[in-house]
Amino acid sequence: MSAAIIDGKAFAAGLRGKVASQAASFARAAGRPAGLAVVIVGEDPASHVYVRSKHKAMAEAGMKSFDHRLPADVGQDDLVALVQQLNADPVVDGILVQLPLPPQIDEQAIIATIDPDKDVDGFHVVNAGRLAVGLHGFVPCTPLGCLMLLKERLGDLSGLDAVVVGRSNIVGKPMAALLTAENCTVTIAHSRTRDLAAVVRRADIVVAAVGRPEMIRGDWIKPGATVIDVGINRIDAGEGKTRLVGDAAFGEASQVAAAITPVPGGVGPMTIAVLLRNTLVAAHRNAGVGYEKGAL
Ligand code: NDP
């Protein structure tokens, strides 16, 4: 079998188009564009690349982003004060603090300072709690993007066996909560899981969010399964070059799976598209502007 490729890039482009058209309606109704404040601390090059692409995507969708750059040695109190100021700013609908933060900053305390209704990353414990108990709230962008791809591919997920490999707060745990809400039978695997291969082999849906290049082998995959590869790993490609690979061994897994996301071009593009979507949802709520159910 040669798996169908789940084209996250195309799906994300479609979502961004939908967001852009809704963003234009929002701006007309609210008299201002939807706004996202992006806070970045320090000079980490990867973080700056991510933040630049978020600003660019916001502009392309007709939304406004506010750029807040702080020096690497900023103190906790100054960062808290900035977040509080953004919480109170009526034209800021969403607040994103780019992680990781430098060691002198208590990351959890900063996330806890963000108004949960502006927490478009969905990292605040209030939003994690809302997801856990099935209330509306913001869901972290990457797992929500994975769920969108799965539903687009498989439709109803009810009764399917899903294995999520990885239990981080930003990917694995919310992914498992989303799949549970979709009536999957969910197993969360992690570094202490015994016989991971056997656990993965039971799954109709495998979500790999480990951060280990090509760890999930083809013979771990149940024939006909759907594989969502969240991993982004840069490996040596020889001759001084590098290339990106996922957490699943794509060549092998695509011989067995019915469908698989590639790396790059699978889950990656979904993350920013969902961030735009979450920001626009926040804007509608913040400004008291309604939108058609299912439009976002
Ligand atoms: P974390 O490092 O926070 O979590 C990794 C998880 O994998 C942990 O739960 C860990 O288990 C588990 N793990 C590690 N080694 C093994 C192993 N040998 N067997 C089984 N489980 C293992 O990573 P993230 O969740 O933040 O990210 C995961 C991957 O997804 C990374 O490659 C990251 O780059 C990528 N990513 C991609 C995004 C995108 O936009 N596409 C966004 C976010 C992340 P334990 O808890 O026991 O330590």
pTM of the model: 0.97
Same domain, 106 and 170: no
Same domain, 108 and 150: no
Q: pLDDT band at residue 291, thresholds of 50, 70 and 90?
A: confident
* Tokens, residue 46: 């990867």
Residue 262 maps to a domain? yes
β pairing state of 233-238 and 94-97: unpaired
Q: Looking at 22, 64, 93, 98, which residue is catalytic?
A: 98
Enumerate the β-bridge partners of residue 245. 233
Is any ligand 1 atom within 6 A of the Cβ of residue 271?
yes
Angle formed at CA 175 by CA 255 and CA 145, multiple of 5 degrees = 75
Same domain, 250 and 176: yes
Same domain, 152 and 240: yes
Measured in angstroms, how far is the CA atom of residue 247 from the centroid of ligand 1? 9
Residue 84 annotated in active site: no
Residue 8 maps to a domain? no
Measured in angstroms, how far is the CA atom of residue 87 from the centroid of ligand 1? 30
Residue 290 maps to a domain? no
Site to substitute for ligand 1 among 9, 210, 275, most atoms within 8 A of C-beta = 210
Site to substitute for ligand 1 among 47, 50, 123, 168, most atoms within 8 A of C-beta = 168
pLDDT digits over 202-235, tens only? Answer: 999 999 999 999 999 999 999 999 999 999 999 9
Q: pLDDT band at residue 63, thresholds of 50, 70 and 90?
A: very high
Q: pLDDT band at residue 1, thresholds of 50, 70 and 90?
A: low
pLDDT digits over 133-147, tens only? Answer: 999 999 999 999 999
The domain that holds 243 is classified in CATH as 3.40.50.720
Residue 3 maps to a domain? no
Residue 255 annotated in active site: no
Measured in angstroms, how far is the CA atom of residue 51 from the centroid of ligand 1? 21
Alpha-carbon dihedral sign for residues 30, 31, 34, 36: negative
Q: pLDDT band at residue 296, thresholds of 50, 70 and 90?
A: confident
Domain span at 158: 141-268
Taking the C-alpha atoms of residue 23 and residue 276, their distance in angstroms, rounded to an integer, is 9
Is any ligand 1 atom within 6 A of the Cβ of residue 196?
yes
Averaged pLDDT of the chain: 97
Dihedrals phi, psi of 276, to nearest 5 degrees: -60, -45
* Per-residue burial over 206-239, b = 16 or more CB atoms within 10 Å of its CB, e = otherwise: bbbbbeebbbbebebbbeebbbbbbbbbeeeeee
Residue 98 annotated in active site: yes
Dihedrals phi, psi of 271, to nearest 5 degrees: -60, -50
pLDDT digits over 158-204, tens only? Answer: 999 999 999 999 999 999 999 999 999 999 999 999 999 999 999 99
Q: pLDDT band at residue 57, thresholds of 50, 70 and 90?
A: very high
Give the number of domains in the chain: 2
pLDDT digits over 7-45, tens only? Answer: 999 999 999 999 999 999 999 999 999 999 999 999 999
Residue 84 maps to a domain? yes
Dihedrals phi, psi of 191, to nearest 5 degrees: -70, -15
Is any ligand 1 atom within 6 A of the Cβ of residue 142?
yes
